[in-house]
Structure 1
Amino acid sequence: MKIALVVYQFIKEKGGVERYVYNLAEQLVSKKYEVHIFTHCLPEKEDNRYIFHYVPAISFWSPLKYWTFAFNAPRAVKKTGIRFDIVHGFTQTLYQDIYRVGGGCHWDYMLHTYPSMQTIFGRALLCLNPRHMSLLLLEKMIFKGKRYKQVTCISEMCKDELVSHYKIPPEDIAIIYNGVDTMLFSPDNSRKYRDSIRSMYDVAPDDILLVFVGSGFKRKGLIHVIHALAMADMPKNVKLLVVGRGYEEKFRAIAKEKGIYELVIFAGTSKEIHKIYAAGDIFVFPSEYDAFGTACLEAMASGLPVIVSKASGASEIIEDGKDGIVIEHPINAKEIADALQMLYDKEKRKQMGLAARNKSEKYSLEVNINKTLSVYRRLVCDSNF
């Protein structure tokens, strides 16, 4: 079977979408499918397991990048003359058999990312921004024009947004939660990396280390974690390790203002995030909006108890109080503090961390690929697939 994967950049380290496509491609070739990658940005070292096709795009200005890739990708697929069994799109393009929505509706993303969206004037200004205007129009063209045969979403939350905004028939949408590499993200990593990573960031062996992972600190709820830590009943040996990109100086200033500057460690980005989880005790993810939040699943696979908000799609896979704690309101620091208080107990952390690992195994890469292949089969109606 010939499968075309369409994504703007096929570089694993670039982000969540890219990592997802990379993992999917690996799983497909391991099952002996012929995989073609249609992309504008190729990896530095091409992998001969795949057949690469270059998609031209004007990349110096993001609106032009979006539009040129959206139009050129279907042309590049057609130009090959190959009859693909499945064309699977991961970036806004104007035709594909399956379109994967990996980040929710752009409108909802804007609502939860930009404070100015709370006013009519602010909304108007943002919608006139060429970047946002382009993404909103492309999204509308794909869904209103039904430039797909099947849509897949990464959460019920994401599906509800699509049905609400674009009136997509619910039966057109399949939910496939993100998968996690349960070999890479494993409780066994603690034995290998815990001491060295803690030493690197000056964290004592008996410190309770909270881990926060994500770029876009505001939307991911970092300020609420800082406020929760500043509450008086916190143990003295708690530290917070922040991994990702954001307005770091702003959040350093907030931590200083709250009197916990010495407890918050900003690590920047990391290419070996599995080692970071290995050093942690609790994962905190009170996101104000996240269509899923793969970092939460990675932490669970690593054996960490997680605190996640209902505004994240990842909360849908968590049984509150058993394999994680789901908070109702991410902006409520007291609610986060109460959840942390429960997990300051070592035995409780151990029990919940074990349950989290067990739950993560239901969302392995193998499970993800099997669900994806199930969608492929329904589309091609081929009993030999």
Structure 2
Amino acid sequence: MIPDSQAPLAVIAIRQVEKSTGASRNAFEQAIALKALGYRVVILAERGRRELAEAVGAELIRLKRWPFKGPFRRFWFNRRVQAWCRRHRPAMMVSHGDVETPDVVYMHNCVHLASQRIHGRDLPSGHEVAAIHDHVLKGGKFRHLAVNSRLMAVDFRDRYGIDESRIEISYPGYDPEIFNLERATAGRLVRRRELGIEDDTRLIGLITSGNFTKRNVAGFVEMAAGLEQRLPGRCRFLVVGKDDFSPYQREAEQAGIAERFIWRTTVSDVETLYGALDVFVLPAHIEEFGRVSLEAMACGTPVLLSRTTGAAELLEADHADLILDSLDTQGWVERIESLMTVSDLESLGAELAELVGDYSYHRQTEKLKASFRGL
């Protein structure tokens, strides 16, 4: 094994690295892949936890953060990274969208498309995130652009005129040691009792990191109202995430179904929540991938996903009936009712768990290594 002092240097530039975010987990997965290829890995960030970087064999270097909001702080980070790289001359530079690189850019969101899907309008000029993304992607200095889904690939191809040969779809992975049928099933009864769910009650859940507007929690409440009319008293509804619950709780109260809802912030043992569900739904207006969908399927939980959720692309070949338009509330109600009353949920969940086996963290890491070798 090459000592770190002699190994080629790889830099991962990402403004924040916290284990709870999908982007951070991607950065740590990249560090593991680069380390396996013989690189010394440095993560350049403004905020992060050193012990998390060290756990994947990387060194975290914190760069000074511009203290005021606005586009300039993103460009400031880019300048600080470029200055560091001029001094240290890395052999590989991985950007997470806020930094120019001659190598590879990993993008996690389509901010322009998201605004159009969620709010029905374009972003204002000078938008903080859009400004740096436009600068990096229009500049085209990178050799390679990696995205979470075909949804993203099409948007960037058309919006920035990037040739398809330079774009790679790199689906996020999940940890099969945590998200699996055995762990989810083992925790099911305890978690359902804790949530107050009776044995003959169906539990339908929307689990996410946050941003309830983007994930269409309002639409989920509408679906719940429709299901309560069709299957009175037979379903409960769970929403998990970090955001303001109050507008959606008021919506549920106005619909007369407040007592059917359970609201929870994020938890560390989320696999037991997936296991407690009968159906997982993600009616997002846009979700560039949606790793929670992958985790739910790995736990053997049937899912219904919006057509504008990247993870739905994994279902297109064999389970297209589990994909719906985000705004088709009546369609969601009918599909959920069908799953509740007709389908063999256990068999469907087992099929989905087998399907996503190809997207485990280990297999995706091998694909990452192959991608880096190509560079």
Aligned residues: 363
Establish whether residue 107 from structure 1 lines up as the match of residue 115 from structure 2.
no
* Structure 1 residue 4, shift from structure 2 partner: 1.9
* Structure 1 residue 255, shift from structure 2 partner: 0.8
Q: Which runs of 4+ in 1 moved over 4 A?
A: 30-33
User: Mean Cα displacement is larger for which, 149-158 or 31-40?
Assistant: 31-40
Superposed, 1:49-198 pairs within 5 Å as: 49-81=57-89, 83-84=90-91, 86-104=92-110, 106-114=111-119, 117=121, 123=122, 126-128=123-125, 130=126, 132=127, 134-198=128-192
* Structure 1 residue 62, shift from structure 2 partner: 4.7
* Aligned position for 2:313: 316
User: Mean Cα displacement is larger for which, 341-350 or 276-285?
Assistant: 341-350
* Aligned position for 1:295: 292
Please, which of 4, 25, 28 is the counterpart of residue 22 of structure 1? 28
Contact 2:279 2:303 in 1 (8 A): yes
- Which amino acid is the alignment partner of residue 334 of structure 2? D
Superposed, 1:364-375 pairs within 5 Å as: 364-375=360-371
Q: 1:362 to 1:256 in 2, by over 3 A?
A: same
- Which amino acid is the alignment partner of residue 87 of structure 1? M
Query: Unaligned stretches of 5+ in structure 1?
Result: 118-122, 380-385
Q: Structure 1 length as normaliser, TM-score?
A: 0.88
- Which amino acid is the alignment partner of residue 378 of structure 1? G
- Which amino acid is the alignment partner of residue 22 of structure 1? F
> In structure 2, what is the Cα distance between the partners aligned to 1:332 and 1:326?
11
* Aligned position for 2:247: 250
* Structure 1 residue 110, shift from structure 2 partner: 1.6
Contact 2:118 2:213 in 1 (8 A): yes
Please, which of 196, 206, 210 is the counterpart of residue 202 of structure 1? 196
> In structure 2, what is the Cα distance between the partners aligned to 1:32 and 1:324?
44
> In structure 2, what is the Cα distance between the partners aligned to 1:321 and 1:235?
32
Contact 1:342 1:348 in 2 (8 A): no
Query: The residue matched to 2:16 in structure 1 has which SS?
Result: coil
Identity over aligned pairs, percent: 20
> In structure 2, what is the Cα distance between the partners aligned to 1:196 and 1:33?
44
Establish whether residue 360 from structure 1 lines up as the match of residue 356 from structure 2.
yes
Query: The residue matched to 2:197 in structure 1 has which SS?
Result: coil
> In structure 1, what is the Cα distance between the partners aligned to 2:176 and 2:38?
22
* Structure 1 residue 365, shift from structure 2 partner: 1.1
* Aligned position for 1:349: 345
Contact 2:184 2:271 in 1 (8 A): no
Contact 1:323 1:352 in 2 (8 A): no
Contact 2:237 2:261 in 1 (8 A): yes
* Aligned position for 1:277: 274
- Which amino acid is the alignment partner of residue 88 of structure 1? V
Q: 1:75 to 1:51 in 2, by over 3 A?
A: same
User: Mean Cα displacement is larger for which, 150-159 or 220-229?
Assistant: 220-229
Q: Structure 2 length as normaliser, TM-score?
A: 0.90
> In structure 1, what is the Cα distance between the partners aligned to 2:318 and 2:327?
20
> In structure 2, what is the Cα distance between the partners aligned to 1:186 and 1:361?
10
- Which amino acid is the alignment partner of residue 102 of structure 1? H
* Aligned position for 1:382: none
Contact 1:323 1:359 in 2 (8 A): no
User: Mean Cα displacement is larger for which, 228-237 or 314-323?
Assistant: 314-323
* Aligned position for 2:15: 8
Query: The residue matched to 1:147 in structure 2 has which SS?
Result: coil
Contact 2:301 2:349 in 1 (8 A): yes
* Structure 1 residue 347, shift from structure 2 partner: 5.4
- Which amino acid is the alignment partner of residue 112 of structure 1? R
Contact 1:308 1:325 in 2 (8 A): yes
- Which amino acid is the alignment partner of residue 247 of structure 2? K
> In structure 2, what is the Cα distance between the partners aligned to 1:76 and 1:204?
58
* Aligned position for 2:335: 339
> In structure 2, what is the Cα distance between the partners aligned to 1:12 and 1:41?
12
> In structure 2, what is the Cα distance between the partners aligned to 1:310 and 1:343?
18
Contact 1:37 1:53 in 2 (8 A): yes
* Structure 1 residue 141, shift from structure 2 partner: 1.6
Contact 1:157 1:313 in 2 (8 A): yes
> In structure 2, what is the Cα distance between the partners aligned to 1:254 and 1:274?
28
* Structure 1 residue 173, shift from structure 2 partner: 0.4
Query: Unaligned stretches of 5+ in structure 2?
Result: 1-7
Query: The residue matched to 2:213 in structure 1 has which SS?
Result: helix
Deviation per CA, 1:222-242: give whole Å up to 9, x if none.
222221221221252211110
Contact 2:283 2:306 in 1 (8 A): yes
